[in-house]
Structure 1
Amino acid sequence: RGKMKVGIIGFGNNSKDMELEFVWNRSKVEMEGIPEKLILDKLEDLLKRSADLIVEVAHPSIAKDYGKMILSVSDFFIGSPTALADQTTEDSLRSTALQNGRALYVPSGAFWGAQDIQKMAQSGSLSSLKVTMKKHPSCFKLSSKKMELLNKQSIHEDRIVVLFEGSVRELCPLAPNNVNTMAAAAIAASNLGFDNVVGCLVADPKMGDWHIVEIEVGGATSANGDKFTVKTTRSNPANPGAVTGSATFASFRQSLLQAKNRGPGVHLC
């Protein structure tokens, strides 16, 4: 068949490899140049369209409030996977996808080595996973007063401050715009999940043009007591104050192009 028909929730650039079926955004002012016939007045109007894939690039609340509706008519590409840290939302979307024969796609984003970690999780050989993200304080959008105070402290005292270290499930609602990479990690590490994957968020005033993502993997222990370990460091160029690093956009686009023909269920791409 021809190009995949894609509906977009949020506003961004459309790929030439896909045919735009509709766009919905909270502010129509930002959608100059989009034909009026493609713009939805209400998100519920997507039920009247015929998208093969609906892409969310708006906010985690979209998956929570409209995910089941989306999966009733289309495959769903969730650009804000921090929404899945809510156990009720994850369970609901997983079951709805299977019931309707739909795919729920989760982009790996800046999560380096996602496929390898997923294989380890599926084989049961993954024993631990920690993801550390280091950014300039201006890059964080936080929903926690405590973390906001620590972030300001990093700026005023010009020093590195650990904003949070603990379970990814606890962290996701505190910094939903910054830790989609960690949410993808929790999906890949299926035997650990959101509760047992560790997330660490670090504010560093000297990190002006970069986002750093460190991934520490622990595997099975051999008969002689040696443990499999891997540590990777990804240095992602980023504009000052940017929530997302520059290289992540290219990764996101490739994930989007891979979001097809996977069958029902949840798929990392």
Structure 2
Amino acid sequence: MVFFGLFLPVLIAGGSVYMFKINKIVLKLIVAFSGSYLLSLVFNELLPRIYNILAIQSLSDTQNNLIHNHEGHAPHYIIGLLILAGFFIQLLLDYLTKGIEHGHTGHPHIHEGKCEDNHIHHTSVIPVLIGLCLHSFLEGMPLADGLSNVNLQNRLLAGIIIHNIPISIVLVSLMLQFRFSMPKAFSFLMLFALASPAGALLTHFFGSQLMAGSDYFFNYIMAIVVGIFLHISTTILFETDEGHKFNILKFITMMVGVFAALIHF
């Protein structure tokens, strides 16, 4: 379910570019919804869960250390460092992706929808694709744990799916502007679609086989992804419209996203 949930929506959203004219206003609203959804999920579910699990683990470790007369360790500070690491990892990825993750549709090498040098511009898409694949790979990693909570896993999966829809649309639109053939554009889209499932599968293998299912390992992975979500969601929400005008439709969409993340399903 997780694999198809991460894979198919990307292909469908990207493929829709060939069938429908994309409305930029709708695209921006989807981006705003996904940003507020992820931010709400982070503060209301993911962060409390990380520290709750850490408290339980620390209590268990303390009891074991007392029994075996070992010195204890307090990894609480590591969580904060990993969240910051995730935040700055995403900041670095932004230099590759040109901000596509948070709805930027422009590209510095496109002028009036035309490319002056086909070879140069085809190669310039590669860093964008690499950055997006790394971003998507990291996002899929927490789903490897199963989260011990089906409702939370479903909501996290839904958040990633919604977040990836506008990314897929913008990525394919970018390749069309660069005069990519359909087979080449589709193969690049496939790579992006496989990135999140690959992150989940490899993390599951590494965590269960090499780390012996360590709860600390999966908790640390979640902390990094929380940092990534914080960067993306705050960038989306704090970006202003032209003229710094208040956009009531965007604000309502954000509020819907906040409350949608609280729905259990």
Tell me which interval the TM-score lies in, with the shorter structure as reference length.
Answer: under 0.3
Larger-gyration structure (1/2): 2
Query: Normalising by the residue count of structure 2, what TM-score does the alignment of the two structures yield?
Result: 0.24
Q: Which has the higher helix share?
A: 2
Q: Name the structure where strand makes up a greater proportion of residues.
A: 1
